[in-house]
Amino acid sequence: MERFKLPKVKLPQLVLPEAITKVLEEAEVKLAHRPKLQQQFRNCFPNTLETTTKLMDDGTTFVITGDIPAMWLRDSVEQLIHYVPFAKEDAALQRLISGLIKRHMMYIAIDPYANAFNETANHWHWDANDDTEMSPWVWERKFELDSLCFSIRLSYIYWKETGLTDIFDEQFKQAMRSIVNVWKTEQRHAEQSAYRFKRSNCPAIDTLRNDGRGMPVNYTGMVWSGFRPSDDACELHYNIPANMFAAVSLAQMQEMAKWVFRDEAFVREMANLEEDIRHGIQLYGMYNHPVYGKIYAYETDGFGNYCLLDDAGTPSLLSIPYIGYTDVHDPIYQNTRRFILSRENPYYYEGKAAKGIGSPHTPPGYIWPMALSMQGLTAASDEEMLEIIKVLEATDADTGFMHEGFHADDPHQFTRPWFAWSNSLFSQLVYKAMAMGILEQKS
């Protein structure tokens, strides 16, 4: 197997935009009574800008995932999205974020099935022997339904926060068309899709079974996905959180098509696709649990088989309110939340240092700070949010940064010391608590 050897990549450090500097100054005051949390926020909030972001000569922005010299559509959005609320009056942030959106649209035009891309057409690949249709621009071609959703999420939130429409050019509309075409094709994967992915001499979770086609599925109206947000292969290929995300993205694209592009026919087409997906989720995506009642499954095949679990990566079942599918108080979500935050979830771990959700992507017993941050962001009470922040504050192994995963008994055993997405999600949580005023020192 010919696997690319990871080079040591250090991008030129950007000058922090004024709006970001102001947030750090605000944290210096509001977190002064918690010096460790203050330092963690000081490290994590600007980490994406300081270590992973490059402004390109063509006006786009390239964002590496951290310790890998490639840009994931999903990761790059979540690495930057906590800056969007500060972009309205900051030209530097507007250049940065709009540049990332434009690069996403460029990549989608190259290959809407790919999950990760190179800075240039340099032929770098995670594995040069992957059996799929590769491009010199593509780092990895694992079709992950959620990847395209993140491109739309960033575009929509940026538009709503700033009111700017310069991102909505012809390439953007063509990307929307490409996304819809792919999703309609993958509603009937076995009959209509040419997508295949096989990798040799690798763990089973890195390749698709059935000669690269994936396991059989029934038609449900939902969209087939080859891989999960963790980049691990789906067991059953209708991933419920990803389909929820696709439904939300289609609603957002309809708004763009209606008010920006004035294309009512496209709006109707996307509305029909959204309705198909939502109907499929309601009909096939729920499970009557004997203890927790009606819950959302993580995956299904449409034949009555279910994966009852949650994985740490977003979108997850835990993140359903975060992606905008339903409210945090929704009773089915609350049932699901109680299930996935229990030992009934095979990737929920409890140890001496912490309890939380991990992933088959990391060793057993490892909790992901990203899952803890998401638990805090979707908490229904201030008390739960504060408790999660306290756990994250205590489990950084005294590095001042978040990691991919850490052992539930010993946070000093961790994976990926440089993982910008995790730092950004933690920053979202802490800033949300700061804005709510619940981190202030009690007199």
DSSP result, 356-407: EE--TTS-TTEEPHHHHHHHHHT-SSHHHHHHHHHHHHH-STTSSS--SEEE
Q: Answer yes or no: is 253 within a domain.
A: yes
| Confidence (pLDDT) at 30 | 96
Would you say residue 50 lies in a domain? Answer: yes
**Confidence at residue 105, expressed as pLDDT on a 0 to 100 scale:** 98
CATH number of the structural domain spanning residue 250: 1.50.10.10
Q: Which of 109-118, 139-148, 411-420 has the lowest mean pLDDT?
A: 411-420
Is 37 a domain residue? yes
**Domain range holding 325?**
18-436
Q: Does residue 12 sit within a domain? A: no
In single-letter form, the type of residue at position 220 comes to: T
Q: Look at residue 441 and tell me if it is in a domain.
A: no
Say which residue, 440 or 24, is predicted with more confidence.
24
Q: What is the pLDDT of residue 442?
A: 60
Is the pLDDT at 5 greater than 60? The verdict is no
Residues 250 and 235: their CA atoms lie apart, in Å, by: 25
Confirm whether 124 is domain-assigned.
yes
Beta carbons of 270 and 257 less than 8 angstroms apart: yes
Structure-derived torsion over alpha carbons of residues 281, 283, 285, 290, reported in degrees to the nearest 10: 140
How many CB atoms neighbour CB 133 within 10 A?
Answer: 14
Q: Is the pLDDT at 183 greater than 60, yes or no?
A: yes
C-beta of residue 61 within 8 angstroms of C-beta of residue 99: yes
pTM value is: 0.96
Q: What is the pLDDT of residue 4?
A: 42
- Give the percent of the chain with pLDDT over 90: 94
CA dihedral sign of residues 177, 180, 183, 187: negative
Averaged pLDDT for residues 53-58? 97
For the segment 55-59, the average pLDDT, to the nearest whole number, is 97
Which among 175, 161, 172, 13 has a CA at the least distance from the CA of 82?
Answer: 161
Q: Computed from CA positions of residues 176, 178, 181, 186, in that sequence, does the dihedral angle turn out positive or negative?
A: negative
5 in any annotated domain: no
Q: Is residue 305 classed exposed, middle or buried when 0-12, 13-18 and 19+ CB atoms within 10 A define those classes?
A: middle
pLDDT for 443 equals 38
Inform me whether the pLDDT recorded for 3 exceeds 80.
Answer: no
* Model confidence band, residue 68 (pLDDT cutoffs 50, 70, 90): confident
Average pLDDT over residues 413-434: 96
Q: Please count the structural domains in the chain.
A: 1
Say whether pLDDT at 1 is over 50: no
Could you tell me where the DSSP H helices lie in 187-327? Answer: 189-192, 209-212, 240-259, 264-284, 320-323
- Please report, in angstroms and rounded to a whole number, the separation of the first and last CA atoms in the chain: 62
- How large is the average pLDDT for residues 63-67? 89
Question: Could you tell me the two tokens for 200?
Answer: 């040799």
The pair of three-digit structure tokens given for residue 393, joined into one six-digit string: 């504050």
Element (H, E) at 296: strand 293-296
Give domain status of residue 80, yes or no.
Answer: yes
CA atoms within 13 A on the CB side of 372: 32
Give the bridge partners for 414, in sequence order. Answer: 406
8 A C-beta contact, residue 412 and residue 422 = no
